[in-house]
A and B are shown apart, each in its own frame.
Chain A
Amino acid sequence: MADSADDDAFRAQLDALIGAPVGTGRPSVAPDPVNLPMIRHWAAAFEDRNPVYTDTEYAATTRFGGIVSPPLMLQSWTMATVEITGIRERGGSPVATAGTSPLSVLDDAGFVGTLASNSEFEIERYLRPGDVISSTTVIESISDEKQTRIGRGHFVTWVTTYVDAAGAVVGRQRFRILKFAPAKTS
């Protein structure tokens, strides 16, 4: 068991991460503008027949005034284009990432497990074809150590802010993971 001076030093390390960018620190710009072919692909995959996503004539009669992107596609537009070769070797990461993750502090302290716990979206406006979206992600909070059913760990929340070409916020996502020390089986 660490003594309290060690605990304080570790908490200070965690506090230093609050506000730190996740990823490169530069905005992730969508490789393509919001577009109907990708919307149609999404709507087909989820069998979502909402006509405001794919029916131009119908969408024009609604309060949206035209085709809009499904609101939960927000997260997909700015994701990096996958590099298939090497994806296994990268542990499933879709692209090679440069530098170390800010969360390596937790890995180094034995909290090597990762479990997604919550995903929350605030939608300011629905996106339209042609919108070019970019996003930035920062760590919003890191909890004190908690005992959970899968082991001791810290809940880490990051917030991604999505903006349009004019810089107006179109939505936010909060994503919470548990970084945990896998319980020892003895």
Chain B
Amino acid sequence: MSFRTLEWAAVRVGDALPPLVIDVTATVIVAGAIATRDFMPVHHDRDYANAQGSPDIFMNILSDTAYSSRFLTDWAGPEAMITRIAVRLGAPVFPGSVLTYTGEVTATSRSGAEGVVEVAFRAMNDLGEHVSGTATLTLPAG
């Protein structure tokens, strides 16, 4: 498997990131919750979620931010460093839905030997906007 890091000088404002599409199953939600050490029952126990008024278990926030970071570094590559990420939380994600992350470059700048890239992104599912966010990454710029 080969990995490529973006060349900062080639990044342009308006560049679109390749979408990240997650086919969300109960396994996806439970695996994410436990891997982030979040044992709140609403993320793995449907009976408990029902009793809380939710139609099903739903994705935890730490999975939202985890997928956001994967979406960014799948595009930017292994040398990229995420220095800031901010998400606003919206519609929930239940099993059986498809979650799609899209985003674009909003600014670039240079800071010493590093190139800085600002990205705006969102993740949508059948219920609407699940997260919207902004992030800052740095890339080696020689």
Decide whether A and B are members of one complex. yes
Tell me the smallest distance from the CB of B92 to a CB of chain A, in Å: 11
B129 to chain A, nearest CB (A): 13
Q: Is A92's CB under 8 angstroms from B62's CB?
A: no
| CB contact between B37 and one of A44, A72, A76 (< 8 Å): that residue | A76
Query: CB within 8 A of B3: which of A41, A42, A58?
Result: A58
- Is the CB–CB distance between A118 and B87 below 8 Å? yes
Q: Is A97 at the interface (CB under 8 A from chain B)?
A: no
B65 and A119 within 8 A (CB): yes
Q: Determine if A118 and B82 form an interchain contact, defined as CB atoms under 8 angstroms apart.
A: no
Q: Are A92 and B42 in contact (CB under 8 A)?
A: yes
Q: Is the CB of B82 within 8 A of A123?
A: yes
Interface membership of A50, Cβ < 8 A: yes
Q: What residue of chain A has the Cβ atom nearest to residue B34's Cβ?
A: A45
Q: Is the CB of A120 within 8 A of B89?
A: no
Report how many A-B pairs have Cβ atoms within 8 Å. 108
What's the Cα separation between A45 and B73 when bound, in Å?
A: 16
- Residues of chain B from 71 to 114 with CB closer than 8 A to chain A in the complex: 73-74, 78-79, 81-89
Size range of the interface on A? 35 or more
With a cutoff of 8 Å between Cβ atoms, the chain B residues found around residue A87 in the complex are: 39, 41
Which residues does chain A contribute within 8 Å of B48, judged by CB atoms? Answer: 88, 92
Q: At the interface, yes or no: B35 with Cβ under 8 Å from chain A?
A: yes
Q: Does B50 contact A (CB under 8 A)?
A: no
Let me know if A12 is at the binding interface, CB within 8 A: no
Which residues on A sit within 8 Å (CB–CB) of B39? 82, 84, 87, 94
Whether A122 sits at the interface, judged by CB under 8 Å, is yes
CB B87 to nearest CB in A, in angstroms, measures: 5
Q: Which of A45, A70, A73 contacts B31 (CB 8 A)?
A: A45
Is there contact, CB below 8 Å, between B32 and A120? no
Contact status A72-B85, CB under 8 Å: yes
CB of A116 closer than 8 Å to a CB of B = yes
A-B contact pairs, 5 of them (CB 8 A): A58-B3, A71-B81, A92-B40, A119-B61, A120-B86
* 6 nearest A-B pairs in the assembled complex, by CB-CB distance: A45-B35, A120-B86, A45-B31, A82-B39, A48-B70, A72-B69
Given contacts A51-B1, A88-B41, A117-B88, 11 further A-B contacts (CB under 8 A): A45-B34, A48-B73, A51-B3, A75-B65, A79-B37, A92-B41, A92-B42, A94-B39, A94-B40, A119-B86, A123-B83
